Chains A and B, each alone.
Chain A
């Protein structure tokens, strides 16, 4: 018991860090689902590409074990590089893998999404030769920069991840509720045809959702690299699964729900480890999902959908 209490603060911090990354990823799933009612299975792989691009940019600044520039500019250029590539990638996938199939059944886009995911994974495998790529996090964010409180070590990396994610989520929330694009997105997700009659170019809204979601995935990819300290071509799958679960947990199609789902999931994963062996952390995650789906099928913040006749 004493050991459990001693671990509690640290595990809460672990959970928040991981949860905020899940939340950023879940946003992408949720936005696309909300508008198109389709599951973008390639989203996890876009995130993986983002993390690899971040690594690539980092390598430009690292020579022989030292960083060539200050932390700030390095981190900003990593994020910038990742976001540019993933946004373009997300837009391209939408244009070539999904748009031509929009008129078909939902199943065809789902299969196309799986295909896009497999292509991204294999291209990444070939380019990285299957090797894990190490982020030299310690060169950019020194491991000495840490706060110790209540027996928990809060490293600067974690702090940055949590703060950046929360800032992004607030910005997203504001964008969805207050900007024209946000309104257009909500309108399109409620009824695409009606939105079109109102003069909204829904096709553009869809592209925007993909581009914004993929950009967020790019940021999440860089952050996961800094946090895990290494990335490889397979990380997209499990992270994608978790983020999708978070989106469902929070109520798929609901932006605030996705954020809440991500945080709940991250916390469940790391707090569950207090009582069960760490191998069971995925069991805990999916048990939470099942429990929520039984008790609240629409998710934590989702609205119940009336059965259409």
Chain B
């Protein structure tokens, strides 16, 4: 027994020797050949790529990957290849922090697109700030995020305190609703937006009743029965999951509820909301934080390529593509003539000083001191014949 063990061990030692020699040769060899090639620049993609919100996450990730492939075809960043590092947070704040810390440990990650959910950004911001790693969120609209003094924070979507009052104005002036019921999902985004709408409606003295559901809910009969008892003429949905809104609207019909519906930017999604509601979404109003890029001439090429590759595009695809392009543009500026000298700090400065970036969103993008987007508008859309039709535009003023 003992001898056998020794024998095996002896063989093993030879094997180890052989393998390490091979590795050594390979290392030296490749060192000669590839010694001058710089490591790729990595762009972090943070978002809910699995779990409840994986639909919007994957819409975003596909767009990010497409932007990076295009940039690589144009030579990357001054010759350095770009890679996407994926940080799946499942829409869960605690996982968002882990993703941030993993990005921070990788010295080649120089900027992050995302996270997408306000709650995740909120939780992960301190970690990104400690690492000095710049983030551009494509969809986190909670106002508080850019008020906390973190320099790494940037976003290309207007805040809820622009969207909420615009929605309230539309409710009072155009729909002329007198009695509004607001349902939110307790999330940082959903409840945050609902708070803004409620505050603005209270100011102009429209009667507001509020109720909450949770992100896990699929059965809306209990709350809808409550809603029915207050007989509202408009139901506002502060929800982050369009599929949930679709289910809610269909179940409302089953209960004989006939109020109109309105929702925030997250609702603007054809597959899950309009198709998912099977006609129940018809006539619904939606405030959007960007113009439908189908109407922006500069976006046509993107839409054609994206839909050819991944199928129907959602609002998150366009915003993610734009955020990625801005980040790449900033990295190119930061690299100057010395792509080897790129650092997180340089990337942060370059993103911060982006001005008048003309992409596919239809307005020139820049960031203010807090990292909030400049020059955006809030658009009101209505679902008509299964499509979104623009009915009103308000400047995004806080």
Contacts and interface: CB of A to CB of B under 8 A. Distances in A.
Bound together: yes
Interface of A: 3, 6-7, 10-11, 14, 17-18, 65, 125, 129-132, 134, 136-139, 143, 146, 148, 153, 155, 157-158, 224, 227-232, 234-235, 238, 269-270, 273, 277-279, 281-282
B307 to A, nearest CB: 15
Given A3-B229, A134-B276, A230 B250 contact: yes
| The 7 A-B residue pairs with the shortest CB-CB distance in the complex, in nearest-first order | A130-B54, A132-B243, A273-B222, A229-B250, A278-B223, A14-B221, A134-B276
Nearest to A231: B218
Interface stretch (B14-22, B138-146, B172-180, B207-215): B207-215
A157 B218 CA distance: 16
Contact of B50 (A11, A125, A132, A137): A125
Given A228-B219, A230-B276, A238-B216, A153 B256 contact: yes
B278 to A, nearest CB: 5
A131 B243 contact: yes
Interface string B47-65: 0001110110110000000
B266 to A, nearest CB: 14
Contact of B247 (A158, A229, A234, A279): A229
B70 interface: no
A34 B212 CA distance: 38
How big is the B interface, by class? 35 or more
B226 interface: yes
Contacts of A232: 52, 243
A97 B52 CA distance: 27
A34 B278 CA distance: 42
A138 B225 contact: no
Contact of A132 (B211, B213, B247): B247
Contacts, number: 119
A273 B51 CA distance: 28
A160 to B, nearest CB: 12
Contacts of A17: 221
A228 B251 contact: yes
B212 A155 contact: no
Contact of A148 (B50, B213, B230, B256): B256
Given A130-B57, A132-B243, A229-B278, 14 more contacts: A3-B229, A7-B226, A11-B222, A18-B221, A130-B55, A131-B243, A131-B271, A132-B272, A132-B276, A228-B247, A230-B218, A270-B225, A273-B222, A281-B222
Nearest to B229: A3
Contacts of B278: 65, 134, 136, 138-139, 229
A141 to B, nearest CB: 9
B243 A143 contact: no
Contacts of B332: none
Given A132-B272, A138-B278, A14 B225 contact: yes
A239 B275 CA distance: 25
Contact of A270 (B51, B214, B222): B222
B255 A10 contact: yes
A134 B54 CA distance: 16
A63 to B, nearest CB: 14
B275 A134 contact: yes
Given A134-B277, A136-B278, A148-B256, A7 B54 contact: no
Contact of A18 (B214, B219, B250): B219
Nearest to A237: B216
16 contacts: A10-B225, A10-B228, A18-B219, A129-B58, A130-B58, A134-B246, A138-B278, A157-B254, A228-B219, A228-B247, A230-B218, A231-B218, A234-B51, A270-B221, A273-B222, A279-B213
A242 B168 CA distance: 38
Contacts of A229: 246-247, 250-251, 254, 278
Contacts of B275: 134
Contact of B243 (A14, A224, A230): A230
Nearest to A14: B221
A6 B256 CA distance: 14
Contact of B226 (A155, A231, A234, A273): A273
A132 B216 CA distance: 13
Most B Cβ at <10 Å: residue of A125, A132, A143, A281: A132
B253 interface: yes
Contact of B225 (A7, A143, A230): A7
Nearest to B185: A279
B279 interface: yes
